Structure formats: C-alpha cells, structure tokens
Amino acid sequence: MNHSVFLALGSNIEDREQHLASAVKKLANHESIRVTKISSIYETDPVGYTDQGKFLNQVIQIKTDLSALELLSETQEIEASLGRKREIKWGPRTLDLDILLYNHENIETETLKVPHPRMLERSFVLIPLAEVAPELQLPQNHVKITDTLDKLIDKKGVR
Ligand SMILES: Nc1nc2nc(S)n(CCO)c2c(=O)[nH]1
C-alpha cells in the first residue's frame, strides 16, 4: 500500500451518520485499500447551494495500491451504491466522496483534479484534515495545513 490519500466525506440526506460509516466500511473492505486515519464527524452549514440541510463532514486517510483513477472509480461506485443521485449539481446528497490529496501529486485529467480544486476555501474540509494530519504540508502552497486554516479563519473573520 504505497500511496497515501486523503478523502473528504459529506452527507446531508438521512441517515447521514450511517452513510458516512457505510462508505468508510466499504473502503476498509476493499483488498487494495487500508483506512489509516479517521477524523471526527463535523456538522456544518451548507456552503455554495445553501437551500439544503446541514452536512456531516469527515476526512479520512487511506493507504492504497490503486492508481488515482482506479481509486476514483471505486469512490464513484461507493457513492452510487449509497444512492447518490446527481439531481441538483450542488444539491443534497446521500454521500459525497472526494479525493483531496494523492501523495503530493498534482493530477489533472478530464475526470479528476488533485489536489481538490476547492479544498483550500472549505473549512468543512480543512478542519477535519488538520485533525488527522496537522503536520501536513499542502502541495498547493507548501504551507502547513494548520497555517492554511488560520488564514482561512482570519479571512472569514471567525475567531
Ligand atoms: N458544509 C458543506 N457544504 C457543502 N456544499 C457542498 S456542494 N458540499 C458537497 C461537497 O462536495 C458540501 C459539504 O460537504 N459540506
């Protein structure tokens, strides 16, 4: 298992906790994936499309032998198996399973961008990520995740 990957999970359709737990279990049961770190679960107000229920968000670290694109098809399969219907693009979802970081690689294909393009402005991603990997240096800016989080909080004026 020589690739370190961080995944973001989110759900705002009940049973939210069950959807997150099922996704982690499916990943852990995959023969080429080992779940190595699991963050706390955070209840967060929806950002972007705000006319929807609160999310539960979580970040996990996995070690895997899968390539990034092989992992993407596994995550899409798990989303589909939990009933993910892409009705409204930014609308409610049973489960979102996003690849945040794949080693320290920059990947850009039609179907996959890593590091996740919106992760630096998402406190619902950065806070659980900082919990499981406080020493992580982000490939985008080579800044420690905890310092990036401080900047985001300053910018939003939340203290
Ligand atoms: N708080 C919160 N807001 C969100 N808006 C979208 S879209 N999403 C889905 C992210 O891919 C979320 C989310 O996971 N959490």
Q: What pLDDT, on a 0 to 100 scale, did the predictor assign at position 93?
A: 87
Distance 109 CA to ligand 1 centre (A): 22
Q: Which of 67-71, 113-117, 146-150 has the lowest mean pLDDT?
A: 146-150
* Model confidence at 61: pLDDT above 60: yes
Q: One-letter amino acid identity for 49?
A: Y
Whole-angstrom distance, CA of residue 131 vs CA of residue 155: 20
55 touches ligand 1 (CB under 6 Å): yes
- Protein residue with its CA nearest to atom 14 in ligand 1: 10
pTM across the whole model: 0.93
3-state secondary structure (DSSP) of residue 113 = strand
Atom index in ligand 1 nearest the CA of residue 98 equals: 11
The whole-chain average pLDDT of the chain stands at: 92
Cα distances (Å, whole numbers) of residue 122 to 8, 44, 118, 159 = 11, 11, 7, 16
> In this structure, what are the phi and psi dihedrals at residue 89, rounded to the nearest 5 degrees?
-50, -50
Is 96 a residue of the active site? yes
Determine what percent of the chain is predicted with pLDDT higher than 70.
Answer: 94
pLDDT digits (tens, 9 = 90+) for 124-158: 999 999 999 999 998 888 888 888 888 877 776 65
For the chain, the maximum distance between any two Cα atoms, rounded to a whole number of angstroms, is 44
* Model confidence at 159: pLDDT above 50: no
pLDDT digits (tens, 9 = 90+) for 21-55: 999 999 999 999 999 999 999 999 999 888 899 99
| Contact present, 24 and 60 (Cβ < 8 Å) | yes
* Model confidence at 108: pLDDT above 70: yes
* Model confidence at 85: pLDDT above 90: no
